[in-house]
């Protein structure tokens, strides 16, 4: 079990006092998620993405229902100490076995190939025939088609 003070809308690793949780969070890559039990409430947390310069950002951000819970804690109990626990392994395995989609991989090569695929779509979209019309001309054409 670890502890942290409610200091921010995210939890920074330097504020976590407990080796098991700290090492688990530091072992994640940017964008990966993990389940934590915070103050008795279980929810999902996402490791913050690496900085633009490539350095890791050592914080976790609540997602989903946990985001609402953490905001309530931050608004009402800022400065208080809460407990953080890793859920039992068998609970996590049982939950993951029912996933519809496989977790997304976050390697640098996969990100690069995804970006290249996205940028490759720039020529696949809408093509203009080169005819330029004003808004009023377009409106007049629509009225003519409707017989008005």
Position 123 scores a pLDDT of 72
Cβ neighbour number for residue 76 with a 10 Å cutoff: 9
Candidates 10, 75, 14, 56; CA nearest to 36 is 10
User: Per-residue confidence at 139, pLDDT binned at 50, 70, 90?
Assistant: confident
pLDDT at 138 over 60: yes
Strand partners, 34: 45
pLDDT tens digits for range 26-47? 998 888 899 999 999 999 999 9
Alpha-carbon distance 140 to 132, whole Å? Answer: 14
Q: Quote the percentage of the chain above a pLDDT of 70.
A: 84
The tokens for 95 are 């939950």
Q: Which residue has the tokens 């990966």?
A: 32
In the chain, where the domains are located: 2-102
pLDDT at 105 over 70: no
Neighbouring C-alpha atoms within 13 Å toward the C-beta of 72: 8
User: What pTM was computed for the model?
Assistant: 0.60
pLDDT tens digits for range 51-103? 888 888 899 999 999 999 999 999 999 999 999 999 876 555 555 555 555 55
User: Per-residue confidence at 104, pLDDT binned at 50, 70, 90?
Assistant: low
pLDDT at 142 over 80: yes
Residues contacting 20, CB < 8 A, separation 6+? 2, 86
Q: Is residue 78 left, alpha or beta, with left meaning phi > 0 and alpha meaning psi from -120 to 50? A: beta
């Amino acid at each position: 079990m670890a502890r942290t003070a409610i200091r921010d809308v995210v939890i920074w690793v330097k504020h976590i006092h407990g080796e098991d949780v700290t090492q688990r969070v530091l072992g994640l890559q940017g964008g990966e998620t993990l389940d934590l039990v915070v103050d008795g409430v279980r929810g999902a947390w996402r490791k913050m993405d690496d900085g633009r310069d490539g350095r890791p950002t050592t914080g976790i951000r609540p997602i989903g229902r946990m985001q609402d819970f953490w905001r309530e804690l931050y608004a009402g109990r800022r400065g208080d100490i809460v407990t953080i626990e890793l859920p039992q392994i068998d609970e996590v395995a049982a939950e993951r076995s029912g996933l519809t989609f496989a977790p997304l991989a976050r390697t640098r090569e996969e990100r690069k190939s995804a970006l290249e695929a996205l940028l490759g779509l720039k020529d696949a979209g809408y093509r203009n025939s080169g005819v330029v019309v004003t808004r009023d001309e377009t409106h007049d054409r629509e009225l003519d088609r409707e017989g008005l």
